[in-house]
Amino acid sequence: MSEKSFVLSLIDTYSMANDLDSLTSLKTALGKYDLTTEEVEELNRLIDGHIRGVLERKGLSNPYGRPSLDSPATRSGEEHGSDNEAKIAELLVTFKTNPDGLAGAIEESLSPQVKARLSDTIRARLEKKGLIESIDWERNVSAYLDRCERQGAIPMYRTRYAGKRFEDREHPGEYLVLFICYGRKWSQWFNNVPLEDIERLEAE
């Protein structure tokens, strides 16, 4: 996934979630991505359009941030707004009475389409981190496995997220694996992992 495609996926995710803060933050952070000047200008315009769309959906398009009495959001969105308020109230109750269940409550309130987009965004971020931090699998995995076992911890391998494997774009046909030394709170990404090793790890 290119840097531009990654940013586009973030824009879609934040817009679908009506997340104005994240859209605004993304607009100011475009300089951190590997983008051309033209791409930054294009994405800025796109983000501005999504921000306007979110404001309109929330009925906040006037300067004072309040929907006018005859606005479409006020006339036809009252029922939808009530549904959203009920979901927010439910999440707040869950947070105050059962903080550990908050993630589950949030997930239940999302549509399948939003869940899929969020999964793709998270996987893309993990893959990007993996590509930056990873070292060669064949040359290094034995040493890290020995280190973890000597520390009395349990070696674990994460080969996928939300059902999809981490692809190693720098080594076509190979994969990324996140090695976790469970109990010692350290981990290491590996690249250039063959499919047969991935299948073996997933079968264990």
Q: Is the pLDDT of residue 110 over 90?
A: no
Looking only at the bridges linking them, the beta strands covering 186-193 and 175-182 are: antiparallel
Residue in the block written with tokens 């951190």? 32
* pLDDT for the residue numbered 197: 96
Question: Is the pLDDT assigned to residue 63 strictly greater than 60?
Answer: no
Which DSSP letter does residue 193 get?
E
Is 191 in contact with 174 (CB distance < 8 Å)?
yes
Q: Does the pLDDT of residue 70 top 70, yes or no?
A: no
Q: Would you say 192 and 138 are in contact if contact means Cβ atoms under 8 Å apart?
A: yes
- Within 10 angstroms of residue 117's Cβ, the number of other Cβ atoms is 19
C-alpha to C-alpha distance for 91 and 101, rounded to whole angstroms: 9
pLDDT per position as a tens digit, 114-146 = 778 888 888 888 889 999 999 999 999 999 999
Of the candidates 85, 70, 48, the residue with the CA atom closest to the CA atom of residue 62: 70
Q: Where are the domains of the chain?
A: 3-115, 123-203
For 3-22, the pLDDT digits (tens) are 788 888 888 878 877 777 88
Residue 90 has pLDDT above 80, yes or no: no
Beta strands in 68-185 (DSSP E): 135-136, 154-158, 160-161, 164-165, 175-182
Q: Are 126 and 161 in contact (CB under 8 A)?
A: yes
The pLDDT value given to residue 58: 66
Residues in the chain: 204
Query: What is the mean predicted confidence (pLDDT) over 34-49?
Result: 89
From CA 82, how far away is CA 87, in angstroms rounded? 9
State the DSSP code for 171. S
Band the pLDDT of 73: cuts 50, 70, 90: very low
Q: Report yes or no: 123 and 164 within 8 Å, Cβ to Cβ.
A: yes
CA dihedral 60, 62, 43, 24 (to 10 degrees): -60
Tell me, yes or no, if the pTM score tops 0.85. Answer: no
Q: Are 60 and 66 in contact (CB under 8 A)?
A: yes
3 in Cβ contact with 33 (< 8 Å):
yes
> In whole numbers, what is the pLDDT of the chain averaged over residues?
80
